[in-house]
């Protein structure tokens, strides 16, 4: 499995051509709130192109916080998880996937997982 995160533009500019050259597909974990916000991040057009070429787009939260600091803040956690899901649905019509979530640094505490279960 090949995956990328944090929505960097260079993933689209450089990594995609290498993936295409060797016939690999990858999963791109995107931070919805960062898309199109600066030149170093992907645009929504980049996301659409990746998806059209068979790449998997998944959520990497709304603004990339440490989810473990939110274990007692259901509304904040809902924004990061549920808000990001809505963001991808509205901005990119991405709804068939989004069954995977990565947390910042790939680490999430059990208390946050339990809260996530009640949200999604
Ligand atoms: Zn990240």
How do residues 96-109 score in pLDDT, each as one tens digit?
556 566 677 666 66
CB 25 within 8 A of CB 68: no
pLDDT at 120 over 60: no
User: How far apart are the CA of 33 and the centre of ligand 1, in A?
Assistant: 13
pLDDT of residue 97: 56
Out of 33-37, 63-67, 112-116, least confident range: 112-116
User: How far apart are the CA of 93 and the centre of ligand 1, in A?
Assistant: 22
pLDDT of residue 77: 85
pLDDT of residue 117: 61
Q: Which of 112 and 30 is assigned the larger pLDDT?
A: 30
Domains of the chain: 3-119 (3.20.20.370)
User: How far apart are the CA of 98 and the centre of ligand 1, in A?
Assistant: 16
pLDDT of residue 20: 96
CA–CA distance, 35 with 43 (Å, rounded to integer):
5
pLDDT of residue 100: 66
Q: What one-character DSSP code corresponds to residue 57? A: E
């Amino acid at each position: 499995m090949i995956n990328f995160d944090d929505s960097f533009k260079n993933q689209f500019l450089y990594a995609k051509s290498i993936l295409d050259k060797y016939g690999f597909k990858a999963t791109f974990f995107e931070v919805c709130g960062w898309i199109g916000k600066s030149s170093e991040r992907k645009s929504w057009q980049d996301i659409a192109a990746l998806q059209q070429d068979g790449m998997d787009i998944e959520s990497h939260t709304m603004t990339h916080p440490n989810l473990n600091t939110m274990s007692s803040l259901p509304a904040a956690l809902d924004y990061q998880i549920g808000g990001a899901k809505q963001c991808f649905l509205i901005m990119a019509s991405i709804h068939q996937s989004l069954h995977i979530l990565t947390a910042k640094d790939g680490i999430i505490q059990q208390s946050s997982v339990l809260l996530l279960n009640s949200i999604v």
